[in-house]
Amino acid sequence: MTYFNTGRLAARMLAPAALGLALVGLAGCAGEGGEQGAASADLAQECDKACLEEIADQYRAAYLAHDPSAAPFADLVRFTENNVAMPFPDGTWDTVTEEVGPALTLSDPVLGTIGIFTAIRQREVPGFLGVRLKVEGGRITEVEQIISTARNLSSPPTPIGDVDEYVHEPIIDQVVPAEERASREELAAHAHGYFDTLQLNDGEIRGTCFLPEATRRENGLLFTDIKGAFESGRYLFNNRVRRTVVLIDEERQVALARGFIDHKGQLDEYTLTDGTPAKSIFQEPQSWGLLEMFKVNDGCISAVVATFYQAPYYTSSPWDEQVVDLSTLQ
């Protein structure tokens, strides 16, 4: 891991993962087990939901102003953009010129995490931004950003919307009455069920369900009939979905995950479940890196929002701590 001193931008390098191993997120919520997780949760609880969401607003303002002093950053900040560790601030912190918005903010006081989805411009370049922040003792210690622009989605053609038409479904921000809420574990299970359905999609819905009116926005582009698309087997070209659930917003009933969708590029022509012939757009190895959230109402997914970019095949996240031998993966 790499941390950067926010005053002097001096790097402190910690031991990397062993060569030949990949970081892979599996089921469950990171940081919720063991003494270290309990200590982290206790520290996170010092900042409640209102506190976290105020820090989210301060972060967005500081980002737009290119001014870290405008938000409560710790002395040492770990920062990645599109899964690349870099000095803080750097990347789009130096180039953003406008937040088009509207911003969607999620928060998890148990883990001290914040999620943000918004639309931005870098001068003439529109884009979609997903952010995960870690807050400890009222100060931001981790910043994970996913930035999606037409350039980093150019091959093969992938979904991207118009930032000037960017909206969020109102249901996402609605607080669900306490008696109607699913548990943290159940919310995480819906996220994993979605990804299990997406992986090697053959028409079977696995581990989750969808409300008839459920929507999905991928880089701002609206999709409807999520269930129908999955039942068609359209996404058979998704060989693997590696993921880690990183935030549970219990009041809003939202689970947020980071992950990668891997396309081996071997599949060419295939048949949908209704017999319609199809051809994969992935003709070479490629992955998508993502931050993606799932809203749950009445026991089923009601809305999905994702920000993703094109990554080199089998890119791993520097944030995921579990390591596995690549030779065990198919």
242, 221, 52, 182 alpha-carbon torsion, rounded to 10°: -60
pLDDT at position 134 is: 98
* pLDDT tens over the chain, length 330 residues: 556 666 533 333 233 333 232 323 333 333 344 444 555 555 556 899 999 999 999 999 999 999 999 999 999 999 999 999 999 999 999 999 999 999 999 999 999 999 999 999 999 999 999 999 999 999 999 999 999 998 877 666 678 999 999 999 999 999 999 999 999 999 999 999 999 999 999 999 999 999 999 999 999 999 999 999 999 999 999 999 999 999 999 999 999 999 999 999 999 999 999 999 999 999 999 999 999 999 999 999 999 999 999 999 999 999 986 544 555 555
Q: Which residues contact 32 (CB under 8 A, 6 or more apart)?
A: 41, 110, 111
User: In 220-248, which positions are buried (b, 16+ CB within 10 angstroms) versus exposed (e)?
Assistant: bbeeeebbeebbbbbbbbbbbbbbbbbbb
Under 8 Å between Cβ of 6 and 84: no
CATH of the domain at 191: 3.10.450.50
Which pair of structure tokens corresponds to residue 222?
């609206």
Under 8 Å between Cβ of 111 and 226: no
Q: Which residues span the domain enclosing 120?
A: 2-14+22-328
Under 8 Å between Cβ of 223 and 217: yes
pLDDT at position 151 is: 84
Q: What pTM was estimated for this model as a whole?
A: 0.86
Report how many domains make up the chain. Answer: 1
Determine the Cα–Cα distance for residues 25 and 29; give it in Å rounded to an integer. Answer: 10
